[in-house]
Chain A
Amino acid sequence: IAGITQAPTSQILAAGRRMTLRCTQDMRHNAMYWYRQDLGLGLRLIHYSNTAGTTGKGEVPDGYSVSRANTDDFPLTLASAVPSQTSVYFCASSFSGASGDEQFFGPGTRLTVL
Protein backbone atom coordinates (compact mmCIF):
# COMPACT_ATOMS: atom_id res chain seq x y z
CA ILE A 1 0.00 0.00 0.00
CA ALA A 2 1.09 3.57 -0.55
CA GLY A 3 -0.22 6.59 1.29
CA ILE A 4 -3.36 6.34 3.36
CA THR A 5 -6.05 3.70 3.13
CA GLN A 6 -9.46 3.76 4.72
CA ALA A 7 -12.00 1.01 5.23
CA PRO A 8 -14.78 0.49 4.56
CA THR A 9 -15.37 2.62 1.48
CA SER A 10 -19.00 3.01 2.45
CA GLN A 11 -21.33 1.65 5.09
CA ILE A 12 -25.00 1.78 5.98
CA LEU A 13 -25.51 1.40 9.71
CA ALA A 14 -28.54 1.13 11.95
CA ALA A 15 -28.78 3.72 14.70
CA GLY A 16 -27.44 2.48 18.00
CA ARG A 17 -24.87 0.16 16.45
CA ARG A 18 -21.17 0.38 17.12
CA MET A 19 -18.87 1.05 14.18
CA THR A 20 -15.12 1.38 13.72
CA LEU A 21 -13.67 3.16 10.73
CA ARG A 22 -10.17 2.03 9.91
CA CYS A 23 -7.27 4.16 8.74
CA THR A 24 -3.74 3.01 7.93
CA GLN A 25 -0.77 4.96 6.61
CA ASP A 26 2.58 3.67 5.42
CA MET A 27 4.48 6.97 5.31
CA ARG A 28 5.69 6.77 8.92
CA HIS A 29 3.99 10.07 9.64
CA ASN A 30 3.81 11.05 13.28
CA ALA A 31 0.50 12.91 13.14
CA MET A 32 -2.89 11.59 12.09
CA TYR A 33 -6.33 13.16 11.94
CA TRP A 34 -10.00 12.36 11.47
CA TYR A 35 -12.36 14.81 9.76
CA ARG A 36 -15.98 14.69 8.78
CA GLN A 37 -17.23 16.52 5.71
CA ASP A 38 -20.81 17.67 5.45
CA LEU A 39 -22.49 19.74 2.78
CA GLY A 40 -22.43 23.38 3.78
CA LEU A 41 -20.23 22.78 6.81
CA GLY A 42 -16.94 21.88 5.19
CA LEU A 43 -14.25 19.73 6.77
CA ARG A 44 -14.38 19.59 10.56
CA LEU A 45 -11.75 17.99 12.76
CA ILE A 46 -13.03 15.21 15.04
CA HIS A 47 -9.88 13.92 16.75
CA TYR A 48 -6.17 14.03 16.13
CA SER A 49 -2.98 12.37 17.27
CA ASN A 50 0.42 14.07 17.17
CA THR A 51 2.29 10.85 17.89
CA ALA A 52 1.65 7.23 18.75
CA GLY A 53 0.17 6.91 22.22
CA THR A 54 -1.38 10.40 22.32
CA THR A 55 -4.70 11.75 21.08
CA GLY A 56 -6.57 15.03 21.26
CA LYS A 57 -10.06 16.39 20.65
CA GLY A 58 -10.92 18.47 17.65
CA GLU A 59 -13.88 20.68 16.89
CA VAL A 60 -16.59 17.97 16.92
CA PRO A 61 -15.43 15.07 19.14
CA ASP A 62 -18.71 14.10 20.83
CA GLY A 63 -19.88 10.58 20.00
CA TYR A 64 -16.48 9.53 18.64
CA SER A 65 -13.38 7.96 20.14
CA VAL A 66 -9.93 7.18 18.75
CA SER A 67 -6.83 5.27 19.72
CA ARG A 68 -3.26 5.38 18.46
CA ALA A 69 -1.55 2.18 19.55
CA ASN A 70 1.12 2.45 16.83
CA THR A 71 2.36 4.87 14.19
CA ASP A 72 0.47 3.39 11.26
CA ASP A 73 -3.10 2.92 12.49
CA PHE A 74 -5.69 5.41 13.74
CA PRO A 75 -9.16 3.87 14.06
CA LEU A 76 -12.24 5.98 14.71
CA THR A 77 -15.06 4.41 16.72
CA LEU A 78 -18.68 5.42 16.94
CA ALA A 79 -19.88 3.76 20.14
CA SER A 80 -23.59 4.14 19.41
CA ALA A 81 -24.27 5.64 16.00
CA VAL A 82 -26.90 8.34 15.51
CA PRO A 83 -28.34 9.70 12.25
CA SER A 84 -26.49 13.02 12.69
CA GLN A 85 -23.26 11.08 12.24
CA THR A 86 -24.18 10.43 8.62
CA SER A 87 -21.27 11.99 6.77
CA VAL A 88 -18.15 11.39 4.73
CA TYR A 89 -15.20 10.68 6.99
CA PHE A 90 -11.63 11.45 5.96
CA CYS A 91 -8.48 10.29 7.64
CA ALA A 92 -5.30 12.29 7.09
CA SER A 93 -1.70 12.27 8.19
CA SER A 94 1.23 14.66 8.26
CA PHE A 95 4.91 14.31 9.01
CA SER A 96 5.15 16.18 12.27
CA GLY A 97 1.81 17.74 13.15
CA ALA A 98 3.33 21.21 13.03
CA SER A 99 1.20 24.01 11.72
CA GLY A 100 1.58 24.33 7.98
CA ASP A 101 2.57 20.68 7.51
CA GLU A 102 1.16 19.12 4.36
CA GLN A 103 -1.70 16.80 5.15
CA PHE A 104 -2.21 13.66 3.11
CA PHE A 105 -5.79 12.46 2.95
CA GLY A 106 -7.32 9.06 2.46
CA PRO A 107 -10.13 8.43 -0.03
CA GLY A 108 -12.85 8.72 2.59
CA THR A 109 -15.56 6.52 4.10
CA ARG A 110 -19.18 7.36 3.31
CA LEU A 111 -21.28 6.48 6.35
CA THR A 112 -25.06 6.50 6.47
CA VAL A 113 -26.80 6.01 9.82
CA LEU A 114 -30.47 5.12 9.58
Chain B
Amino acid sequence: TQLLEQSPQFLSIQEGENLTVYCNSSSVFSSLQWYRQEPGEGPVLLVTVVTGGEVKKLKRLTFQFGDARKDSSLHITAAQPGDTGLYLCSPGGSNYKLTFGKGTLLTVNP
Protein backbone atom coordinates (compact mmCIF):
# COMPACT_ATOMS: atom_id res chain seq x y z
CA THR B 1 0.00 0.00 0.00
CA GLN B 2 1.45 3.30 -1.11
CA LEU B 3 1.54 5.89 1.64
CA LEU B 4 1.18 8.88 -0.65
CA GLU B 5 -0.43 9.31 -4.01
CA GLN B 6 0.46 12.33 -6.07
CA SER B 7 -1.57 13.22 -9.13
CA PRO B 8 -1.29 13.79 -11.92
CA GLN B 9 2.07 12.13 -12.50
CA PHE B 10 2.78 14.35 -15.51
CA LEU B 11 1.30 17.71 -16.51
CA SER B 12 2.20 19.81 -19.54
CA ILE B 13 0.51 23.17 -19.93
CA GLN B 14 0.91 26.50 -21.69
CA GLU B 15 2.17 29.63 -20.01
CA GLY B 16 -0.65 31.55 -18.36
CA GLU B 17 -2.82 28.53 -17.56
CA ASN B 18 -3.90 27.56 -14.06
CA LEU B 19 -3.31 24.13 -12.60
CA THR B 20 -3.82 22.06 -9.46
CA VAL B 21 -1.81 19.07 -8.29
CA TYR B 22 -2.73 16.76 -5.45
CA CYS B 23 -1.18 14.75 -2.66
CA ASN B 24 -3.53 12.16 -1.14
CA SER B 25 -3.38 9.46 1.47
CA SER B 26 -5.62 7.40 3.73
CA SER B 27 -3.38 8.28 6.69
CA VAL B 28 -3.52 11.36 8.92
CA PHE B 29 -0.40 13.48 9.04
CA SER B 30 0.75 15.99 11.61
CA SER B 31 2.06 18.23 8.82
CA LEU B 32 2.86 18.15 5.15
CA GLN B 33 5.61 19.73 3.12
CA TRP B 34 5.76 20.64 -0.56
CA TYR B 35 9.11 20.72 -2.35
CA ARG B 36 9.99 21.72 -5.90
CA GLN B 37 12.87 20.10 -7.74
CA GLU B 38 14.19 21.82 -10.83
CA PRO B 39 16.01 19.79 -13.49
CA GLY B 40 19.52 18.82 -12.38
CA GLU B 41 19.09 20.11 -8.84
CA GLY B 42 17.98 18.90 -5.45
CA PRO B 43 14.50 19.58 -4.04
CA VAL B 44 13.83 22.89 -2.32
CA LEU B 45 11.16 23.41 0.32
CA LEU B 46 8.23 25.59 -0.76
CA VAL B 47 5.93 25.38 2.25
CA THR B 48 4.94 23.42 5.34
CA VAL B 49 1.25 23.15 6.26
CA VAL B 50 0.32 22.06 9.75
CA THR B 51 -3.32 22.79 10.57
CA GLY B 52 -6.27 21.02 8.98
CA GLY B 53 -7.93 23.37 6.48
CA GLU B 54 -4.89 25.62 6.40
CA VAL B 55 -4.28 27.68 3.28
CA LYS B 56 -0.91 29.25 2.54
CA LYS B 57 -0.04 31.47 -0.38
CA LEU B 58 3.37 31.95 -1.92
CA LYS B 59 3.00 34.50 -4.73
CA ARG B 60 1.08 32.59 -7.44
CA LEU B 61 1.13 29.31 -5.52
CA THR B 62 -1.67 28.37 -3.12
CA PHE B 63 -1.30 25.39 -0.83
CA GLN B 64 -4.16 23.79 1.07
CA PHE B 65 -4.11 21.13 3.75
CA GLY B 66 -7.26 19.05 3.93
CA ASP B 67 -9.55 19.40 6.93
CA ALA B 68 -8.80 15.83 7.99
CA ARG B 69 -5.05 16.29 7.36
CA LYS B 70 -4.99 13.38 4.90
CA ASP B 71 -4.54 15.33 1.70
CA SER B 72 -3.18 18.52 0.24
CA SER B 73 -3.34 20.48 -2.97
CA LEU B 74 -1.12 22.95 -4.75
CA HIS B 75 -2.73 25.44 -7.11
CA ILE B 76 -0.65 27.57 -9.45
CA THR B 77 -2.22 30.63 -11.04
CA ALA B 78 -0.98 31.89 -14.40
CA ALA B 79 1.84 29.36 -14.65
CA GLN B 80 5.18 30.51 -15.98
CA PRO B 81 8.06 28.53 -17.53
CA GLY B 82 10.00 29.06 -14.32
CA ASP B 83 7.41 26.92 -12.51
CA THR B 84 8.62 23.90 -14.46
CA GLY B 85 9.85 21.16 -12.18
CA LEU B 86 8.99 18.14 -10.08
CA TYR B 87 6.62 18.89 -7.22
CA LEU B 88 7.00 16.55 -4.27
CA CYS B 89 4.98 16.22 -1.10
CA SER B 90 6.37 14.82 2.13
CA PRO B 91 4.29 14.03 5.23
CA GLY B 92 5.20 14.81 8.80
CA GLY B 93 4.62 12.54 11.75
CA SER B 94 6.83 10.13 13.61
CA ASN B 95 5.81 7.16 11.46
CA TYR B 96 6.21 8.92 8.13
CA LYS B 97 9.35 10.92 8.48
CA LEU B 98 11.54 11.18 5.45
CA THR B 99 8.97 9.81 2.99
CA PHE B 100 8.20 11.51 -0.29
CA GLY B 101 5.49 11.01 -2.85
CA LYS B 102 6.61 10.17 -6.38
CA GLY B 103 5.83 13.69 -7.48
CA THR B 104 4.11 15.57 -10.27
CA LEU B 105 6.36 16.55 -13.16
CA LEU B 106 5.13 19.91 -14.44
CA THR B 107 6.20 21.42 -17.73
CA VAL B 108 5.10 24.94 -18.56
CA ASN B 109 5.58 25.73 -22.22
CA PRO B 110 6.22 29.34 -23.35
Where the two chains meet, the residues of A that have a C-beta atom closer than 8 Å to any C-beta of B are 4, 33, 40-43, 45, 48, 58-59, 90, 92, 99-100, 102-103, 105-108
Contact = CB atoms under 8 A, between A and B. Distances in A.
What interface size band does chain B fall in?
20 to 34
B32 to A, nearest CB: 9
Nearest to A3: B42
Contacts of A102: 33, 45, 48
A98 B94 CA distance: 8
Contact of B30 (A4, A42, A48, A99): A99
Interface secondary structure of B, over-half rule: loop
Most buried by A among B43, B88, B96, B99: B43
A100 B95 CA distance: 12
A107 B42 contact: yes
B92 interface: yes
Contacts of B41: 105, 107-108
24 contacts: A33-B98, A40-B102, A41-B102, A42-B88, A42-B100, A42-B102, A42-B103, A43-B43, A45-B99, A58-B98, A90-B42, A90-B43, A100-B30, A100-B31, A100-B48, A102-B33, A102-B45, A103-B43, A105-B43, A107-B40, A107-B41, A107-B42, A108-B40, A108-B42
